[in-house]
Amino acid sequence: MSRRGKGNQRRGLRRAVAIFAMAAVLCGHAAGQETAIQATRMPCSVLPGRMGNVSIVDGQLYCYASGLLLVAQRQGSEVVGFEADTLYSRLGEGVDYVVKHPTSGDVYFTSVDKKGRRSLYCCRNDNGRLKKAKRVRTGRLEATHPVFTTDGGAMVFSAQSAYEGRGGYDLWIADRQEEKWSEPRNLGSRINSTHDEVSPTVSGDYLFFASAGHESEAGRLDLYALQLTRSGEGDSTRQTVAAESLVQHLPMPLNSEEGDDFDLAVDSDQGCGYWVSRRLQSECDSQLYSFRGGIDGVRLWGIVSDVEERKMADVEVVVMQNGTTVCRTTTNGEGRYECYLPSGQYYEVQFRKEGYFVEFEVVNTLKKPGSPLITEERRDAAMNGLAHQQPIYYDDLFGPGADLELSDFGRERLASLVSYLTDNPRSRVRLTLVSDLTEDAGFNLMLTSGRLQTLEGYLYERIPTSVALDFANGCAGSTGCNTATERVRLTVVIE
């Protein structure tokens, strides 16, 4: 095998950092930007009209649209059509939302009368048969869109109140006590804003809801999440919502800068979910979107600058997993980029701009138990220009301490240099290495010499023999390398 063939093989192995890859699909946001959440917009021809509430009951997706409760016909996660519901709509007039209690099997639904007033009802499950609907008392509140914690011990719903509310619709919670519900209590000012909080949904250990008063622009609904906590002792602990719970803004494409994003339903059994959005100016007043995979993930961001610390715009940032692109974006005028990645994986991040060497980072998104739904990972990058006679600096190429071998990170850093020299086989390059690890100049000189041999062998295995490489030990000479500050740096000058 040729030197170039061996180099390509090694680069292929270098990129195999994980065993699973998620495809990226454009969905209602800036052209040219990809996201790691695989999302699909249902075409207007499939939708029956203005979409409203959505929920998952017994593996069925229920939607309220144009005054009717409908059942979605699905192929996998894709919705291919709708048919009128014949099971729950007969329970009462104006049924616009239905949900099932996770432990009792009782069915709860909300209905709206001709005056627009909403009421909450329950149909008890009697050995698989639903009994006559009875109204659920929630104090002075008109509860709408209820949802239950996964253990069934609490019910969260949206309602207006002239007495205790924060403004508009708020989220409220009631506890289940001997098959009855306690007096509802407001979830507090950290969760409820002075604008609307609506459409709660529970999936696993998280409560999702829509709000017009957190990070989103006032009056525009965005989707948010908070982690449920446990209350009680021993075997009697229950999921609940703590007043100090951290509210997190969901990533793109679940939210956009173009319009409202509100009702969310998660089908855990199928590994997918659905949400409603009014983000596009089209013949559809509101549209149904679906996504595959989990929402749990890591918001990767950072600042890209040059070696003189000037922020760089329009740098292409590509995140790959096992050779598949899962996120692609560009830096803004402040050099900032952002990507959302599913957790539990390893990713390779590449920074590319014409006239600069490609920079690499490896990101591990494994999360500790109890971590928030969305965590942050910062990765900055400093881009080295390709100008001749201008020094290019590489730090920390070798293993820890006095290791003579290149680290995995070091090989990643050198990949762009190898690529450039492969494409420019007549180049002449000066490489000066310094290893200031101790105050012993003799030791530093010997260590640097050994590392230069490693570096020379590594490069000559991967580049054309016509490239002229001139290696220099920066610790040689009368002064040597005996600084008190630990530093390992390779300086490269292309002549």
CATH number at 480 reads 3.30.1330.60
The average pLDDT across 266-280 equals: 87
What does the alpha-carbon distance between residue 261 and residue 263 come to, in Å, rounded to a whole number?
Answer: 7
pLDDT category at 144 given cuts 50, 70, 90 is very high
- 460 and 339 within one domain: no
Residue 27 lies in a domain: no
CA-based nearest residue to 120, from 128, 129, 106:
106
Tell how far CA 192 is from the center of its chain.
Answer: 24
Last residue of one domain, picked from the residues 335, 365, 383:
383
From 324, 350, 383, the end of a domain falls on: 383
Predicted confidence (pLDDT) at residue 4 exceeds the cutoff of 80: no
Residues of the chain above pLDDT 90, percent: 40
302 and 360 housed in the same domain: yes
Are 7 and 71 found together in one domain? no
Whether 341 and 406 share a structural domain: no
354 and 52 in contact (C-beta within 8 Å)?
A: no
Indicate if the pLDDT at residue 332 is higher than 50. yes
Q: Are 349 and 459 members of one domain? A: no
Q: Within a domain: residue 343? A: yes
Q: Which range (86-95, 223-232, 346-355) has the least confidence?
A: 86-95
Q: Does a structural domain hold residue 414?
A: yes
Mean pLDDT score, 427-431: 92
pLDDT over 80 at 44, yes or no = no
Q: Which residue has the higher pLDDT, 6 or 77?
A: 77
User: Nearest Cα to 289, choosing from 40, 32, 2, 463?
Assistant: 40
The Cα 211–Cα 249 span in angstroms is: 10
Residue 27, pLDDT score? 33
Q: How confident is the model at residue 377 (pLDDT cuts 50, 70, 90)?
A: very high
Domain limit, last residue, from 276, 294, 312: 294
Range 109-143 burial, b when 16+ CB lie within 10 A, else e? bbbbeeeeebbbbbbbeeeeebeebeebebbebbb
pLDDT of residue 484: 55
Same domain, 421 and 307: no
- Clarify whether residues 265 and 360 are in a common domain: no
Number of structural domains found in the chain:
3
What distance in Å separates the CA atoms of residue 358 and residue 360, rounded to the nearest whole number? 7
Query: Is residue 37 pLDDT above 80, yes or no?
Result: no
In a domain, 23, yes or no: no
290 and 312 fall within a common domain: no
**Cα separations (Å) of 233 from 201, 398, 487?**
25, 52, 54
Average pLDDT value for the chain: 83
Are 372 and 398 within one domain?
Answer: no
Residues 304 and 422 in one domain: no
Q: With a cut of 60, say whether residue 24 has pLDDT above it.
A: no
**Residue 276 near residue 256, CB atoms below 8 Å:** no
Strands 51-57 and 60-65: antiparallel
Report residue 162's pLDDT band, with 50, 70 and 90 as the boundaries: low
* Domain extent at residue 161: 39-294
Average pLDDT of the residues in 49-58: 87
